[in-house]
Amino acid sequence: MRVRRMLTKTTNTTMTLLMLGVAATPALLGVSASPAVADSSPSASPSGDGGAPTEAGTSFRTATEIEQGQQATASGSTGDYLYWSFPADAGQRPTVKATVKLPDPSTRNAAETWQIDVYDGLRRRQACQYGAQTRTAARDAAFATLSCTLRTVRAWSDTWANDPLPGTYYIRLTATGLGSSDLGLPVSTEVKVDSKDIGGAAAVDGSLAKPLVPGIATSAEQSDSDSDSTTAALSSLEPDDGWASGWWSDRWVWTAIGGILAALAGIGGYALTRGSGRPSRMPPGA
């Protein structure tokens, strides 16, 4: 009878510990949700001039800066190269969408093919994971819609790889294969960049010393007069919490939860086996 009571007591203790562990899991998840939200994509608030950009650059060096979530507009001509730039941090999967309002059909002689390309801070062309990167619009079409979803930005990568890394990204929009009679026709464009936070699934063990922002590591040497050094950064936009803000990921949470559950299971197993393995102290014939 004493052994039976002991087994019943240890079983109840084990069940209580397991229930406490399960009850603690939502609380841990609630704690982890706050940093994940804080490390989301850069702010979509309007730029310093009071609104979204209304023009595009004509080269990498003159690319118009846009923040994620902003809808930038620009007017141009068929045959022009239109450039924008935006920041992307580790753990984000950017999606670039562009809409082109085509010239009046009566002024066009053939169909038009539009293409959107995305380059990183080293001007390496990044492959689209999915999306209509190239779109051919019929002669009577009024709009052409393109999209490009990049691979998830990694915090670190091998030097020989072409993985997306934190830093500035460039968008280039242009029409290809135009005849001479279709060059120079007026068009208007809309471009927007959004990101999905992938979280711990994309976390890697490593980080860059500096984000791939052109010019961020170029600084003037201090003169003998102890003047302050200057940094020649060609892009001024960055995530709200700074670069490499995605150091926190839900991998930390699930690792902690797994450790707690494993410890509780070990305690429960020990409590069960300890009671059943002890010899009875009752005298013979009792």
Percentage of the chain beyond pLDDT 90 is 42
Task: Report pLDDT for 155.
Answer: 86
pLDDT digits (tens, 9 = 90+) for 110-127: 999 999 999 999 999 999
Position 277 confidence tier, pLDDT thresholds 50, 70, 90: low
Question: DSSP string covering 77-145, please?
Answer: ETT--EEEEEEE-TTEEEEEEEEEEPPPGGG-SS-EEEEEEEE-TT-PEEPEEES--EEEEPTT-SEEE
Mean pLDDT of the chain: 76
Task: Report pLDDT for 279.
Answer: 58
pLDDT at 72 over 90: yes
Percentage of the chain beyond pLDDT 70 is 64
Query: Cα separation of 171 and 66, whole Å?
Result: 10
What pTM, to 2 d.p., does this model score? 0.67
Task: Report pLDDT for 44.
Answer: 35
Position 54 confidence tier, pLDDT thresholds 50, 70, 90: very high
Q: φ, ψ for residue 229 (rounded to 5)?
A: -75, 150
